[in-house]
C-alpha cells in the first residue's frame, strides 16, 4: 500500500462527502443514498485489494522465515 493509494481514497471520500451534503440539502435523498451505496462498494473493493496485498506480504515473510531456519 502506498501513499498515493491512501490519498486517492481520501480524495474520493471528500468528494463523495461533499456530494452527499449537497444532495441532502437540495432534497435529493435518493441520490444521496445511491451515492453512499456506490461509495460503500468502492471502499469494499479497495479494502479487499489491500487485504490481498497484506496477506501476500505475510505469506512471503513466512516463506522467508522458513528458509532461514
Please report, to the nearest 10 degrees, the dihedral formed by the alpha carbons of residues 13, 16, 21, 24 taken in order.
Answer: -140
Span 6-40, pLDDT tens digits: 899 899 989 998 998 999 899 888 888 899 899 89
Cell numbers of 9, please? 481514497
**How far is C-alpha 5 from the geometric centre of its chain's CA atoms?**
9
The per-residue pLDDT for 2 is: 79
**59 band by pLDDT with thresholds 50, 70 and 90:** very high
Span 33-51, pLDDT tens digits: 899 899 899 999 999 998 9
The per-residue pLDDT for 1 is: 59
Q: According to DSSP H, which parts of the chain are helical?
A: 3-25, 29-68
Q: Where in the chain are the domains? A: 3-68
The per-residue pLDDT for 29 is: 87
Amino acid at each position: 500500500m502506498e501513499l498515493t493509494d491512501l490519498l486517492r481514497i481520501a480524495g474520493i471520500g471528500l468528494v463523495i462527502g461533499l456530494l452527499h451534503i449537497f444532495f441532502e440539502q437540495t432534497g435529493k435523498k435518493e441520490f444521496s443514498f445511491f451515492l453512499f451505496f456506490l461509495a460503500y462498494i468502492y471502499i469494499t473493493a479497495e479494502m479487499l485489494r489491500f487485504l490481498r496485498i497484506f496477506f501476500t506480504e505475510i505469506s512471503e515473510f513466512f516463506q522467508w522465515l522458513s528458509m532461514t531456519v
